Structure 1
Amino acid sequence: MYSKIVVQYREAPTDKSDWWELYEPFEETLSDGTTIKISAGYVTDFASVPWILWSFFPPIGKYNRAALVHDYLYDLQLREKELGEKQARYFADQQFLYFANKVDPKGFVRHYIMYQIVRWFGRSAWRASK
């Protein structure tokens, strides 16, 4: 059973995206068995997707869990000190794919495309979190 994601819309600092604030703590177990705890108050945009692609890759919806975990791992830069930037970012991106497949096992082709997009464009977001 999944833990519930409780968010409320929050005015974005710019007009470029929508932001959502976590109103209750959220806990999730990653693919390697590590548990992360995201505190209430954490802010996410879920998925940063250009509006032209929303019909195929919606920024909000059934992939919220995958996007929330991914955003948090990027913000935290989990394991960068131990693994280095490349491997730590790879791990975070793998978690996006893992949770997308968990939520919708039949959508693995779509998830893989989404994962590749995250891989291609995630480097700048990872470095912006520093």
Structure 2
Amino acid sequence: MQKTNEKLDKIALSGMKFYGYHGCLNEEREQGQDFYVDVTLSLSLHSAGKSDELKNTVNYAAVFEIVKSVVEGQRFHLIEAIAEHIADLILGRYPEVRAVEVTVHKPAAPIPGDFQDAAITIRRAQGDQKA
């Protein structure tokens, strides 16, 4: 169990690219588009650093597969829902992760005008998903 004064460390996976069929418009749900996801996990990495054992940390490849299963395996109208599902799955699978931040980028969002990216970021902590 984590001490309340223990400083949390971070694991970050940035720029994960997936092709998905998300959006409110029929064209988005039929044609699909690229989505990029960034995930930052907050947890103690002390044990992993001392032991040099994968079993004492969160496997990055497993986190990638969680994100991939949501973005490529499900369909949502909102990128907010994509992020929420990713956060719920990570927190549910890894109780040692105290909090997770998920950013979903939708650079080809159907916005009339010139823009580089449309993205949302959520932060969820252990216990939030039970509310």
Please report the TM-score for the alignment, with normalisation by the length of structure 1.
Answer: 0.31
Max Rg structure: 2
Q: Which has the higher helix share?
A: 1
Return the TM-score normalized by structure 2. 0.31
More strand by share: 2
